[in-house]
Amino acid sequence: MRLRSSSQLPEMVPGQFVQVKVDHSPSTYLRRPISINMVDYEKNELLLLIAAVGEGTRQLVRLQPGERVNCLYPLGNGFTMPSSPKENCLLIGGGVGTAPLLFLGRRIAEMGAQPTFLLGARTSSELLEKDMFRKYGELYLTTEDGSEGESGFVTGHSILRQKRFDRIATCGPKPMMLSVARYAKRENITCEVSLENDMACGLGACLCCVENTTEGHICVCKKGPVLNIKKLLWPL
């Protein structure tokens, strides 16, 4: 979804998200949290990558050019940028979890570095925005059915054995991120994950998205959604 704002877009960082109001859907009471996929400040446009998995998101993808959408943005905290262009950054995404990694990859490329993207999906048709990712770095792919790239899961890709990375950013299904986090801990690599806890308000008021961490219970929408794996109480 490409949204053009009537006012100047504020500064946004990769990993932040938008709370989108869903109109004309009587069964959808809450806004939908959607990761920021890309920002085009020259055109004053915001890009969101939306999977139509429920009534709310199905209604959003039915919108036509010219219709208005009510959004709260930017919300949450984003990924930590590398301290130097010399850092080898690996950006791992699964499904629509690849969305914030495109914006992050562009920002890293603007530093003069070349990020490595590793994207996974069940089948080739679910590998999204491949040409856009290739604009900013090296792209490697996996599919569970072997229809494109290497067969299997992202954490089994050969690039992980061929190249040493200094920093990992990942977003996608929790089992995938858990596997990536275990790899990062084992290899002593700095790793941040973008959590996809259920959210309601997006502002830290409803306590719907609470995650238990080394710092206690936190609202992912306010303290996250991006967190360093050292703060998580995951079984690593």
How is the chain split into domains, by residue range? 2-75, 89-231
Which residues does residue 48 pair with via DSSP β-bridges, in sequence order? 36
pLDDT digits (tens, 9 = 90+) for 183-194: 999 999 999 999
Which residues does residue 167 pair with via DSSP β-bridges, in sequence order? 89, 190
Query: What is the signed CA dihedral for 96, 191, 174, 49, rounded to 10 degrees?
Result: -10
Pick the CATH number of 2-75 from 2.120.10.30, 3.90.930.60, 3.30.450.20, 2.40.30.10: 2.40.30.10
Note the pLDDT of residue 143. 98
Which residue ranges are tagged as binding site for FAD?
Answer: 32-35, 56-57
pLDDT digits (tens, 9 = 90+) for 137-153: 999 999 999 999 999 99
pTM: 0.95
Note the pLDDT of residue 75. 97
CATH number of 89-231: 3.40.50.80
Instruction: Indicate if the pLDDT at residue 6 is higher than 90.
Output: no
Neighbour-count burial of 124, counting CB atoms closer than 10 A to its CB (0-12 exposed, 13-18 middle, 19+ buried)? middle
Residues 71/60, Cβ–Cβ less than 8 Å: no
Note the pLDDT of residue 236. 95
Which residue ranges are tagged as binding site?
Answer: 32-35, 56-57, 201, 206, 209, 221
Q: Please, what is the average pLDDT of the chain?
A: 96
> How far is Cα 12 from Cα 27, in angstroms, rounded to an integer?
31
Residue 67 CB contacts under 8 Å (≥ 6 apart), including other chains: none
Note the pLDDT of residue 24. 86
Q: Three-state SS across the chain?
A: CEEECCCCCCCCCCCCEEEECCCCCCCCCCCEEEEEEEEECCCCEEEECCCCCCHHHHHHCCCCCCCCCCEEEEECECCCCCCCCCCCEEEEEEHHHHHHHHHHHHHHHHCCCCCEEEEEECCHHHCCCHHHHHCCCEEEEEECCCCCCEECCHHHCCHHHHCCCCEEEEECCHHHHHHHHHHHHHCCCEEEEECCCCCCCCCCCCCCCEEEECCEEEEHHHHCEEEEHHHECCCC
Side chain identity at 94, as an amino acid letter?
Answer: G
Instruction: Indicate if the pLDDT at residue 216 is higher than 90.
Output: yes
Q: Which two tokens stand for residue 71?
A: 């959004």
**HSE value, Cβ hemisphere, 13 Å, CA-based, for 9:** 21
pLDDT digits (tens, 9 = 90+) for 80-136: 999 999 999 999 999 999 999 999 999 999 999 999 999 999 999 999 999 999 999
Which residue ranges are tagged as binding site for [2Fe-2S] cluster?
Answer: 201, 206, 209, 221
Side chain identity at 41, as an amino acid letter?
Answer: Y
First vs last Cα of the chain: how many Å apart? 36
